[in-house]
Structure 1
Amino acid sequence: MTPQINAVSMVVADMAASLAFYRRLGLDIPADADREPHVEAVLPGGLRLLWDTEETVRSFDPDRDPGPAGSGRLGLAFACEGPAAVDAAYAELVRAGAEGHKEPWDAFWGQRYAVLRDPDGNTVDLFAPLA
């Protein structure tokens, strides 16, 4: 059998801050998950997004170095309903304290696009077709 992607995993410094960020992007994550060492969210289509605290990962891989926070260890992209939704989501997340990396713009490849950083410095792209 050929391996198939089933999950995307992130190592986070602050579970509550990371989950709050992704909740604002519409992910259904229970509020009581903020204090857990491992959290999973099933996305449409069955792909899972996983969060593990740095301490959890060190418990089974003590030599692992995830790199410095803010280094963009992972990138995720979220499709929005339209160009105005890109602008609205970007503005809401920045108002809530997220780091805006690139404000929304009309990209040459035909999408409204914006880039933020989550609390661990991972890039989070927001996009929608310009049509």
Structure 2
Amino acid sequence: MNLNQITVPSKDLKVSVPFYKQLGLKLIVDAPPHYARFELPEGDATFSIHLVDELPQGEGISVYFESDRLDEMVAELKAKGIVFDEAPEDRRWLWREARLRDPDGNKLILFYGGVNRKNPPWRVG
């Protein structure tokens, strides 16, 4: 099995599509006002947003995007005006993460996990 795509909700694709393009995703399906799909700069998975009347309540959705040049990428995005909730920080689970929210409040975590992403010291045998 392979993870193919993640879809997150949006109340306004006219705002969300430019945001994700600014993050570096490439728009490959544009079906306004209901749907948009993107390719990521690396890998085969795709990412999409779809129009909803109401956003999820509570903790909602968290989407992780990995980059081995995390600190550079965050600096570049900040220079473009992207606002982060948390700057890159080393976490106790051995990942380095920066956190932000998309225009609809979906949690985005830009991170670098390296070998620890799939093989942390506490991995189950």
1:112 match: 96
2:61 match: 74
Greater per-residue helix proportion: 1
Identify unmatched segments of 5+ residues in structure 1. Answer: 59-64
Give the one of 102, 106, 115 matched to 2:86. 102
Aligned residues of 2:27 and 2:39 also touching (Cα < 8 A): no
TM-score (norm 1): 0.65
Q: CA deviation at 1:119?
A: 0.9
Alpha-carbon distance change, 116 to 72 in structure 1, aligned in 2, over 3 angstroms: farther
Aligned residues of 1:74 and 1:123 also touching (Cα < 8 A): yes
**Cα distance in 2 for residues equivalent to 1:26 and 1:119:** 16
Runs of 4+ in 1 over 6 A off after TM superposition: none
Give the one of 48, 51, 54 matched to 1:53. 51
- Whether 2:115 is the aligned partner of 1:128: answer no
What is the Cα-based RMSD across aligned positions, in Å? 3.1
Identify unmatched segments of 5+ residues in structure 2. Answer: 116-125
TM-score (norm 2): 0.67
1:55-109 CA distance string (max 9 Å, x none): xxx5xxxxxx4336xx65321111112xxx2223223333434331111112222
Alpha-carbon distance change, 13 to 95 in structure 1, aligned in 2, over 3 angstroms: farther
**Which has the larger displacement, 34-43 or 18-27?**
34-43
- Whether 2:73 is the aligned partner of 1:89: answer yes
For residue 66 of structure 2, what is the amino acid of its counterpart?
A: A
Alpha-carbon distance change, 72 to 116 in structure 1, aligned in 2, over 3 angstroms: farther
2:30 match: 33
For residue 73 of structure 1, what is the amino acid of its counterpart?
A: G
Q: CA deviation at 1:40?
A: 1.8
**Cα distance in 2 for residues equivalent to 1:72 and 1:98:** 22
